[in-house]
Amino acid sequence: DVKVTQSSRYLVKRTGEKVFLECVQDMDHENMFWYRQDPGLGLRLIYFSYDVKMKEKGDIPEGYSVSREKKERFSLILESASTNQTSMYLCASRNTGEIGDNSPLHFGNGTRLTVT
């Protein structure tokens, strides 16, 4: 079974702090994704990566950056956390390198981040 592990289940940070959300997958998947989930807005794509060292902006990249130095790890970085970044963050991976591919995503349990 594919396992996508997010390092923290709950996180509380102060405004202005630099925040790292870590995600690791154990199935050698090429593609990895970061989404945020907010009530009434569903899942929105922040950034994704087709392979190591590659990154692409999603629908709402502002205020975020990412790092993919190793294939199994995809980090989401909030350079200077703000209260409007309080949300549930979901990491996902899938086994392909093609745009528009139909392989299903495998999700982690999510990190609920609160910025005060």
Contact residues toward other proteins (CB under 8 A) are: 33, 40-43, 45, 48, 58, 88, 90, 92, 99-102, 104-110
Q: How far apart are CB 16 and other proteins at their closest, in Å?
A: 27
Q: How far apart are CB 75 and other proteins at their closest, in Å?
A: 19
**Bridge pairing between strands 87-94 and 73-78:** unpaired
Question: What are the DSSP calls for 22-57, one per residue?
Answer: -EEESS--SEEEEEEEETTTEEEEEEEESSTT--EE
Q: How far apart are CB 108 and other proteins at their closest, in Å?
A: 7
Is the Cβ of residue 45 or residue 52 nearer to other proteins in the bound state?
A: 45
Which residue is listed with tokens 């989404």?
Answer: 35
**Spatial contact of 15 and 81, defined as CB atoms under 8 Å apart:** yes
Is the Cβ of residue 77 or residue 88 nearer to other proteins in the bound state?
A: 88
Q: How far apart are CB 80 and other proteins at their closest, in Å?
A: 26
From the list 76, 27, 69, 32, the residue with the least C-alpha distance to 50 is: 32
Is the Cβ of residue 56 or residue 79 nearer to other proteins in the bound state?
A: 56
